[in-house]
Structure 1
Amino acid sequence: MTPPPGYVPKGDSRVCKLLKSLYGLKQASRQWYSKFSSTLIEHGFNQSKADYSLFTKVYGSCFLSILVYVDDVILASNDSKTISDFIFFLNQKFKLKDLGSAKYFLGLEIAQSSKGISLCQRKYALEILEDFGFLGFKPSKFPMEPHLKLSRDNGDLIADPSMYRRLIGRLIYLTLTRPDLAFSVQILSQFMDKHRQPHLDAAYRVLRYIKNAPGQGIFFPSSSTCQLKAFCDSDWAGCSDSRRSTTDFCVFIRDSFISWKSKKQHTVSRSSAEAEYRAMTATSCELTWIRALLADLHISHSQPSLLYCDSKATLYIAANPVFHERTKHIELDCHLVRDQILKGVLHTMHANSQLNLADLFTKALGLQVFSSLLSKMNALNTYSPDHPS
């Protein structure tokens, strides 16, 4: 650390020895996390290997879990006294501000009742609408026009590229509780480096959809049993510029919608079956990670995870151990899924295309299909009179 001017004679090569990490330095956050995590581990907590921000500890019949994001911490336990004792312990080591029961955390609005827990980002959504002047616009009932194809070269370039990038960046964070926006935002984020007027018009359409229900979120019913199931799908050669396919999946614990993804694949698939199989591989990796996370939370899940796919050709590739000319170039992916099946942790099943919930993340859908699939995901408007309370 360089001394301030005038503190040492000119030409002196001495520097300051840093005894304590100062707020604002490059390594400050890393030093804080190292100090906090080492304190928890010394207190008997186990750090999760699936998520290094998660710490758990068992007190006899009591269980305590801690989720850390920089200096924001959320606690969960089956015993209120355990939480009180641990807060007292932390208060002796660090300066704390106890905000009570979780209601607002990192922009997520949390509502709890005997029927379950709901998450939404209404305040954040309204801030986006206000910043871009869309509070008074007419709302839309679905986020993207069906069969819309956006390209990198069609349309006029936008004069202010920073505005588009700022908008998409904020929409990406909104997808934490808005699976209905995942596909649209995934498409729009592909044009961050070179965006044109059709891309901006499509982004404005998403804002009008948010205006329709800014309190839209997800609901986790308290009556769910622990059964992992997932739906996967793919849009073969859906990108008109690169002809890459899109991987889409959604994961449930019984009726609780816990994970989803819509992302363009890294390579070009030579057939629709190959594109679907890559989507199945990504989904099986997600299921493996979630099972590890459940184990860290001391939640038993001995039964196989159910993986639904609407492509029979893909299911045959997963079940048949014989390689042939059409599958030898995806051998690694085949081994990954087949090993999970042979271990008994994954069970593949066929789902009709009309019942495959991952279809919501594959393409832009019309109002009827879009609303039908969304309602099956427990994605509800927290501020609606029909919302469970």
Structure 2
Amino acid sequence: MRSIPLTWLPRLLVLSPSPKVLLFIRLPRPNITYVVSMVSQFMHSPSVSHRNAVDRILIYLKSAPWKGLMFSKNGDLEVIGYTDADWAGSIADRRSTSYYFTFVRGYLVTWWSKKQNVVSRSSAEAEYRGMAHGVCELLWIRRLVTELGFKPGKQMELHCYNKSATDIAHNLVQHDRTKHVEVNKHFIKEKIEKKIIRLPFVKSEDQLADILTKAVCGRVFHDSLTKLGIGDIYAPT
């Protein structure tokens, strides 16, 4: 995948400062998904600070036009996902945002971020709603690769570092704290019982989806990009 041309983007943003332009910029660049999703929320009524943030995104892109995703042949057809959510992250309405990464054969193939439709009353609920989206994505990828004749030979993995959310997924007992996520709970539990997916616990420092939920330090950010397979697309192979 080659980087998109950047020379015309500042002029296009001046002419049409819409969320669609920013979303187009981030399509081949998962490393800017978080910041683009944040500034896109204010593009209908931007302030000077929002425009300054957009300018900084463009400066970052122009400073590293060679960064992109590279793919090569790998014999192990393994499907893995990482899911995360920022609980009540939106200051305006206190809704949470769900994020996930999915890998096939060790290579990043899809990534997604979207604000949840309702306000979550706990971090476990926010994570669980995000987990449901991650499961749906894994099921879609499984169906796609099966139609292509490459059915995964083992359970797909969905990594989540919120222990409460993973405990809810494995716990059959319903109680007052989980009634409001009952539909998602049964959906995920069904896939676990059918051995389609499994939910291994992942440590916070190994949660790749963190760069989609919050601003992290430079070391963590660049380390995550390496793990995601984002590197120099012009480097000799």
Please confirm whether the aligned pair reaches a TM-score higher than 0.5, indicating the same fold.
yes
Match of 1:355 in 2: 206
- 8 Å contact from structure 1 (residues 224, 256) kept in 2: no
Residue 365 of structure 1: how far off its partner (Å): 1.8
Residue 331 of structure 1: how far off its partner (Å): 0.6
Match of 2:9 in 1: 128
Give the partner amino acid of 1:242.
D
RMSD: 1.7
Match of 1:367 in 2: 218
Q: How many residues align?
A: 237
- 8 Å contact from structure 1 (residues 250, 358) kept in 2: yes
Counterpart mapping for 1:23-102 below 5 A: none
Q: List gaps (5 residues or longer) in structure 1.
A: 1-118, 134-159
- What is the SS of the residue equivalent to 2:94? coil
Match of 2:162 in 1: 311
Equivalent of residue 110 in structure 2, options 259, 280, 288: 259
Equivalent of residue 141 in structure 2, options 281, 290, 302: 290
Residue 169 of structure 1: how far off its partner (Å): 2.6
Distance across 2 between alignment mates of 1:366 and 1:380: 18
- What is the SS of the residue equivalent to 1:233? strand
Counterpart mapping for 1:306-345 below 5 A: 306-345=157-196
Distance across 2 between alignment mates of 1:120 and 1:184: 21
Match of 2:44 in 1: 193
Equivalent of residue 269 in structure 1, options 116, 120, 141: 120
Residue 388 of structure 1: how far off its partner (Å): 4.9
What is the CA deviation profile of residues 9-65 of structure 1, one whole-angstrom value per residue up to 9, with x for unaligned ones? xxxxxxxxxxxxxxxxxxxxxxxxxxxxxxxxxxxxxxxxxxxxxxxxxxxxxxxxx
Distance across 2 between alignment mates of 1:381 and 1:176: 17
- 8 Å contact from structure 2 (residues 159, 207) kept in 1: yes
Equivalent of residue 380 in structure 1, options 219, 231, 234: 231
- Deviating runs (4+, > 3 A) in structure 1? none
Query: How does the TM-score come out when normalised to structure 1?
Result: 0.59
Distance across 2 between alignment mates of 1:229 and 1:288: 11
Residue 188 of structure 1: how far off its partner (Å): 1.4
Equivalent of residue 153 in structure 2, options 302, 306, 329: 302
Identify the structure with the greater helix proportion. 2
Residue 316 of structure 1: how far off its partner (Å): 0.3
Distance across 1 between alignment mates of 2:59 and 2:94: 29
Residue 224 of structure 1: how far off its partner (Å): 4.9
- 8 Å contact from structure 1 (residues 233, 362) kept in 2: yes
Greater radius of gyration (CA):
1
Residue 187 of structure 1: how far off its partner (Å): 1.1
What is the CA deviation profile of residues 241-290 of structure 1, one whole-angstrom value per residue up to 9, with x for unaligned ones? 01011101100013210011121111100000110101100000000111
- What is the SS of the residue equivalent to 2:200? strand
Match of 2:33 in 1: 182
Match of 2:80 in 1: 229
- 8 Å contact from structure 1 (residues 221, 255) kept in 2: no
Match of 1:278 in 2: 129
Distance across 1 between alignment mates of 2:228 and 2:212: 12
- 8 Å contact from structure 2 (residues 22, 40) kept in 1: no
- 8 Å contact from structure 2 (residues 74, 105) kept in 1: no
Matched, 1:173 2:24: yes
Equivalent of residue 243 in structure 1, options 79, 94, 108: 94
- 8 Å contact from structure 2 (residues 42, 50) kept in 1: yes
What is the CA deviation profile of residues 54-77 of structure 1, one whole-angstrom value per residue up to 9, with x for unaligned ones? xxxxxxxxxxxxxxxxxxxxxxxx
What is the CA deviation profile of residues 204-232 of structure 1, one whole-angstrom value per residue up to 9, with x for unaligned ones? 11001101111211111212521000111
Distance across 1 between alignment mates of 2:236 and 2:131: 33
- 8 Å contact from structure 2 (residues 85, 97) kept in 1: yes
Residue 189 of structure 1: how far off its partner (Å): 1.3
Distance across 1 between alignment mates of 2:51 and 2:86: 23
Residue 132 of structure 1: how far off its partner (Å): 6.3
Distance across 1 between alignment mates of 2:153 and 2:103: 16
Structure scoring higher RCO (CA < 8 A, sep ≥ 6) equals: 2
Distance across 1 between alignment mates of 2:140 and 2:74: 23
- What is the SS of the residue equivalent to 1:287? helix
Equivalent of residue 17 in structure 2, options 161, 164, 186: 164
